Amino acid sequence: MILSKIMRRRRCCWIWAWADKTVITLSAIADLLHDSFLISRVLVIAPLRVARDTWPEEVKKWDHLKNMRVSVAVGNETERRTALTREADVYVINRENVQWLVEKSGIRWQWDMLVVDELSSFKNPQSKRFKALMKVRGKIKRVVGLTGTPASNGLMDLFAEYRLVDKGVRLGRFISRYREEFFRPDKTNGLVVYSYKPLPFAEEEIYRRIGDITISMKSTDFLPMPEKVMSENTVFMDEREKKEYQRLERDLVLDIEGDEITAANAAALCGKLSQMANGAVYTDDGKVKIFHDRKLDALEDMIEAANGKPVMVVYWFKHDLERIGKRLTERSITWEKLDDSDSIERWNRGEIPVLLLSPASAAHGLNLQSGGSHIIWFGLTWSLELYQQTNGRLWRQGQKAQTVVINHIITKNTIDERILWVLKKKDATQEDLIAAVKAQVRECM
pLDDT-derived band of residue 19, with 50, 70 and 90 as boundaries? low
Look up the pTM and report it: 0.62
Give the containing element (helix H, strand E) for 282.
Answer: strand 280-282
**Per-residue model confidence (pLDDT) at position 27:** 92
**Three-state SS at 387:** helix
**Per-residue model confidence (pLDDT) at position 434:** 42
Q: How far is CA 262 from the centre of its chain?
A: 29
Number of Cβ within a 10 Å radius of residue 135: 12
Q: Check: CB of residue 388 under 8 Å from CB of residue 118.
A: no
Most confident of 200-204, 246-250, 368-372: 200-204
CA atoms of 323 and 320, how far apart (whole Å): 5
Selected residue with higher pLDDT from 431 and 166 = 166
Question: Does position 346 have pLDDT exceeding 50, yes or no?
Answer: yes
**Per-residue model confidence (pLDDT) at position 430:** 43
**Per-residue model confidence (pLDDT) at position 191:** 83
CA atoms of 402 and 130, how far apart (whole Å): 41
Give the containing element (helix H, strand E) for 243.
Answer: helix 239-251
Tens-digit pLDDT profile for residues 62-104: 889 988 999 999 999 999 999 999 999 999 999 999 999 999 9
Which distant-in-sequence residues (6+ apart) come within 8 Å of 34 by Cβ?
Answer: 67
CA atoms of 339 and 358, how far apart (whole Å): 9
Tens-digit pLDDT profile for residues 147-166: 866 665 678 889 999 999 99
CA atoms of 20 and 171, how far apart (whole Å): 28
Selected residue with higher pLDDT from 432 and 234 = 234
119 phi and psi, to 5 degrees?
Answer: -60, -25
Percent of the chain residues topping a pLDDT of 70: 83
Stretch 228-245: mean pLDDT: 89
Tens-digit pLDDT profile for residues 251-305: 665 555 555 555 456 667 788 889 999 999 888 788 898 989 999 999 998 898 7
Stretch 343-362: mean pLDDT: 88
CA atoms of 415 and 379, how far apart (whole Å): 11
- Domains along the chain? 2-221 (3.40.50.10810), 227-444 (3.40.50.300)
Stretch 348-373: mean pLDDT: 82
CA atoms of 146 and 140, how far apart (whole Å): 17
CA atoms of 199 and 154, how far apart (whole Å): 12
Q: Give the residue from 327, 355, 350, 319 showing the smallest Cα distance to 339.
A: 355
